[in-house]
Homo-oligomer: A and B are copies of this chain.
Amino acid sequence: MARQRRVTNPLALSVLATLSEGPMHPYEIARLLRHRGKDQSIKIRYGSLYTVVQSLEGQGFVTAEGTARAGRRPERTVYRLTDDGREELEDRLRELVSEPAKEYPLFEAALSLVGVLPPDEVIGLLTERLRRLEVELARTRAALHEWTAEQLLPRIFLIESEYGLAMKQAETDWVRGLIRELTDGTLEGVEYWRAWHETGKLPQEWSERDWARADRAIHGESEVDET
């Protein structure tokens, strides 16, 4: 039985990880994860949870230990991690930590299409983004700071928050830099962008053929196996 496909789904991994602390029913898993703030780094949707647990059962990574019934609440199925499940959990975790995965952040997508808006408007939008980023950043940093200061939990148990914070900080800095370059005219090419919006076309020198050369230079041969 079981298709033995690799468990790439983060929610599924967090189910395995939680069950490694002992048998539980799905709702309890979700409650524990939320309680520990893991829902900040892993998207937890009840709609997905039960599908995911069923699929893990089908693959033999968890087994139903039986159904308990407290009071007359809905029947609860308690699951237990199998040996296969623990192995799968550890393997996937090793993979996720040691191999950077290609992801597609929304902001990167937006930047790659942002040419359809006029440059001056974009400066305003970026400024708004910067404002919001700074607010988020201040809030998160303050909480984390207060936190380590009071020594409520050692830093290592909040390491994913520190990562998130570092990335948010980096984005903030980058956006600030971009705004500056757009504003003071340092960023080369803005004149073509503007011209395109006024005349409806790019100057001939940046033709399709140039795009093609550019693509090869930037992206060519980048999908290497790298083992």
| Chain A interfacial positions (CB closer than 8 Å to B) | 10, 13-14, 17, 20, 35-38, 40-43, 89-90, 93-94, 96-101, 103-117, 121-122, 125-126, 128-129, 132-133, 135-136, 139-140, 143-144, 146-147, 150, 152-164, 166-171, 173-174, 178, 187-190, 192-193, 206, 208, 210-215, 217-220, 222, 226
Given A170-B167, A214-B37, A219-B40, the answer on whether A156 and B112 have CB atoms closer than 8 Å is no
Residues of B within 8 A of A114 (CB): 93, 97, 159
12 contacts between A and B (CB under 8 A): A35-B215, A38-B113, A41-B112, A90-B117, A94-B121, A98-B128, A105-B167, A109-B160, A147-B214, A147-B218, A154-B189, A167-B171
Among B106, B153, B214, B215, contact of A10 (Cβ-Cβ < 8 Å): B106
Contact A132 B10 (CB under 8 A): no
Contact B153 A206 (CB under 8 A): yes
Indicate the member of A10, A97, A128, A193 with the most B CB atoms within 10 Å.
Answer: A97
- Number of copies of chain A assembled together: 2
- 12 additional A-B residue pairs with CB within 8 Å, beyond A42-B112, A152-B213: A10-B109, A17-B113, A37-B218, A90-B116, A93-B110, A94-B125, A98-B126, A144-B218, A147-B214, A153-B214, A155-B187, A166-B174
